[in-house]
Amino acid sequence: MSGAVTLERPTNRDEEWRYADAGFLKAADPAALAQWMEWTVAPGEVVQEYRVLASGDEAGGTVERLRVHVGRNGRFECAAVNAAGHYARLELEVTLEQGAHFSFGGVTIGGEGKVQEFVTRVIHAEPEATSRQVVRAVQWGHATGNFLGRIDVVRDAQKTDAAQNFKAILLEKGAAANAKPELEIYADDVKCAHGAAIGALDRQAAFYMASRGIPPEVARKLLVRAYIADAFELVTDEEVRTRLLDEALAALEGAAL
Amino acid sequence: MLEISNLQAGVAGKPILKGLSLDVKPGEIHAIMGPNGAGKSTLGYTLGGRPGYGVTGGSVIFDGADLLAMEPHERAAAGLFLGFQYPVEIPGVSFVQFLREALNAQRKTRGEDPLSGGEFLKLAREKAALLKLDMEMLKRPVNVGFSGGEKKRAEMVQMGILDPKLAILDETDSGLDIDALRIVGEGINAIMRKPDKAVLLITHYQRLLDYVKPDHVHVLTAGRIVKSGGPELALELEREGYEAVAA
């Protein structure tokens, strides 16, 4: 088999890689980029997954690709913090059988020139499956936060109920965020909602906090915490939720803002 | 306690305060009255250090220190409280969390130990009761879903908890019905009517002054104090209007 298949290196011209760091792609091993972890959630089973991509290899990158098949009435719930760099990508491809559910909460948070992204593809392969995705991006410096979310609803997947929501706050000029929702719907009795917004931290709230004695860095942390908390609402275990919030906020500590 | 000398300030290069001077001593309550656009809110925001409000001349000494050289949060820690005409909503941050952060940040700046969660809740409960605000409301996100009157009462609860030396209250009476006006007035007296504290009440109307008796009343018109007097001046303004009195 070796040598029989030549793997093409992805570039920014490929839709799923359009916002990826070009320098990283040029240097990456195409075989490594083509690898997926494969999981199965058995019918009726509930799987919860929490992933933290924390800062490590500042010069290189991290690409994690996870393909999950969720059986009838099964649930896959995933929450993730993407605080790594220089390039960090978590990609999920989730196929839902009848009545299955997928929820995803993701936060990208980082500065310098980091490129952090979530790429999801949710395939509603059978009727009555549901999916909920909430992604928040907090970027500063020249960092970029991306969410590419594709939802496929196949012809017979009636009563599909899918939603995705993306919001970004840019703490400084020079930071960026990209949202790319993509809905491919071939059934007719379907609910599919998506929304995206990009803005700055609320200055009025920051001054209100300062006027009560809260220093700017503490105010920023409180406001960012409140902002990203939406993404972790799916996490029912309070301890886990707090840990994820702390992991995300750790990236903000010591940020030169 | 507060000495404002020839203060000149504005927004976006537009002069609004044009040489304002005022001397507030401990134990005093001053009312600043004036028509719309006179610069009343600009005075509050300039003293509070709101970004965008630029000082072009004059000085402000607060408790012996140069107020204008301090950051907004340092002004609060030094004992200044700014009551907002339009209190800001902060989704996702509870009042309890917000105020505990604020109080402990102020205490830290002053070199004092932080209050524990229990100590803080006891204090918050006491001040909420004083303003007849349900303690449950302080567990909600800051000002979110509060009525106009509830926001103003919550401002006074904050003042009670933070225990400032000087309170600058910008139209705290606006949006209050008769009962809420009395509760807020009594709250201001209970918290701030003390020999070592002072209040600057910025207001449009004399009605709050029925409950909080000022020692001095000033008329602010076109960025300057044009007339000062005792409590009787407020009544005169109410009767005859700003134009007649300030002319």
Residue B55: burial class (beta carbons within 10 Å; 0-12, 13-18, 19+) = middle
What pLDDT, in 10s, does the model give residues A145-197? 999 999 999 999 999 999 999 999 999 999 999 999 999 999 999 999 999 99
Residue B239 pLDDT? 87
Candidates B53, B71, B73: best to mutate against A (most CBs of A within 10 A) is: B73
Q: What ipTM describes this predicted complex? A: 0.95
Instruction: Report yes or no on B122 lying in a domain.
Output: no
Cβ contacts of B48 within 8 Å, gap of 6 or more: A207, A211, B72, B75, B80, B82, B168
Find the mean pLDDT for residues B118-123. 95
When CB atoms are compared, the residue of A207, A208, A227 closest to B92 is A227
Q: Cα-atom radius of gyration of chain A, to the nearest Å?
A: 19
Q: Is there a contact between B189 and B208 (Cβ–Cβ < 8 Å)?
A: no
Instruction: Report yes or no on B107 lying in a domain.
Output: no
Q: Cα-atom radius of gyration of chain B, to the nearest Å?
A: 18
Residue B241 pLDDT? 84
Least confident of A157-161, A242-246, B109-113, B121-125: B109-113
Question: Quick one: three-class SS letters along chain B?
Answer: CEEEEEEEEEECCEEEEEEEEEEECCCCEEEEECCCCCCHHHHHHHHHCCCCEEEEEEEEEECCEEHHHCCHHHHHHCCEEEECCCCCCEEEEEHHHHHHHHHHHHHHHCCCCCCCHHHHHHHHHHHHHHCCCCHHHHHCEECCCCCHHHHHHHHHHHHHHHCCCEEEEECCCCCCCHHHHHHHHHHHHHHHCCCCCEEEEEECCCHHHHCCCCCEEEEEECCEEEEEECCHHHHHHHHHHHHHHHC
Instruction: Report yes or no on A91 lying in a domain.
Output: yes
User: Residue A102: which H helix or E strand, with range?
Assistant: strand A101-110
Which token pair is B237? Answer: 């303004």
Residue B173 pLDDT? 87
Residues of A with a Cβ under 8 Å from any B Cβ are 202-205, 207-216, 218, 222-223, 225-227, 229-230
Domain harbouring B174, CATH code = 3.40.50.300
Residue whose pair of structure tokens reads 């932080």 in the numeric block: B114
Query: How far apart are the C-alpha atoms of A244 and B72, rounded to whole Å?
Result: 31
Whether residues A213 and B106 touch (CB distance < 8 A) is answered with: yes
> CA nearest B109 in A: which residue?
A213
Confidence category of residue B174, pLDDT binned at 50, 70, 90: confident
> Which residues of chain B lie closer than 8 angstroms to A218, CB-CB?
101, 105
> How many interface pairs between A and B have CB atoms less than 8 angstroms apart?
80
Chain A nearest CA to B123, separation (Å): 16
A5 pLDDT higher than 70: no
Instruction: Report yes or no on A134 lying in a domain.
Output: yes
Which token pair is B66? Answer: 């140069």
Residue B238 pLDDT? 84
Chain B nearest CA to A43, separation (Å): 36
Chain B nearest CA to A77, separation (Å): 23
Instruction: Report yes or no on B123 lying in a domain.
Output: no
Confidence category of residue A1, pLDDT binned at 50, 70, 90: very low
Whether residues B98 and A209 touch (CB distance < 8 A) is answered with: yes
When CB atoms are compared, the residue of A216, A222, A230 closest to B93 is A222
Number of domains in chain A: 1
**B114 contacts chain A (CB < 8 A):** no
Instruction: Report yes or no on B103 lying in a domain.
Output: no
**B98 contacts chain A (CB < 8 A):** yes
Instruction: Report yes or no on B109 lying in a domain.
Output: no
* B160 closest CA partner among B133, B135, B131: B131
> Which residues of chain B lie closer than 8 angstroms to A208, CB-CB?
84, 87-88, 90, 142
Query: How far apart are the C-alpha atoms of A166 and A197, rounded to whole Å?
Result: 7
Residue whose pair of structure tokens reads 């890689």 in the numeric block: A17
- Strands B14-24 and B2-11 come out as antiparallel
A55 pLDDT higher than 90: no
Domain holding B50, by residue range, is: 2-86+148-246
Residue B46 pLDDT? 96
Domain holding A36, by residue range, is: 15-250
What pLDDT, in 10s, does the model give residues A228-247? 999 999 999 999 999 999 99
Find the mean pLDDT for residues A37-63. 89
Instruction: Report yes or no on A2 lying in a domain.
Output: no
> Which residues of chain B lie closer than 8 angstroms to A205, CB-CB?
88-90
B34 pLDDT higher than 60: yes
Query: Is the C-alpha dihedral spanning B100, B102, B108, B112 positive or negative?
Result: negative
B144 pLDDT higher than 70: yes
Which token pair is B204? Answer: 């449009």
Angle at B242 between CA B173 and CA B24, to 5 degrees: 60
> CA nearest A224 in B: which residue?
B92
Q: In chain B, which among 169-228 make CB contacts under 8 A with chain A? A: none
Mean per-residue pLDDT of chain B: 93
Residue B86 pLDDT? 93
Whether residues B92 and A212 touch (CB distance < 8 A) is answered with: no
Whether residues A208 and B49 touch (CB distance < 8 A) is answered with: no
Residue A57 pLDDT? 62
Cβ contacts of B202 within 8 Å, gap of 6 or more: B31, B32, B40, B41, B43, B44, B168, B169, B170, B171
Instruction: Report yes or no on B168 lying in a domain.
Output: yes
Query: How far apart are the C-alpha atoms of A221 and A226, rounded to whole Å?
Result: 9
What pLDDT, in 10s, does the model give residues A70-103? 999 999 999 999 999 899 999 999 999 999 999 9
**B158 contacts chain A (CB < 8 A):** yes
Instruction: Report yes or no on B140 lying in a domain.
Output: no
Measured CA to CA in angstroms, residue A138 lies from A224, A225, A247 at distances of: 8, 10, 13
Instruction: Report yes or no on B163 lying in a domain.
Output: yes
Find the mean pLDDT for residues A136-151. 97
Number of domains in chain B: 1
Instruction: Report yes or no on A139 lying in a domain.
Output: yes
A4 pLDDT higher than 60: no
Chain A nearest CA to B52, separation (Å): 11
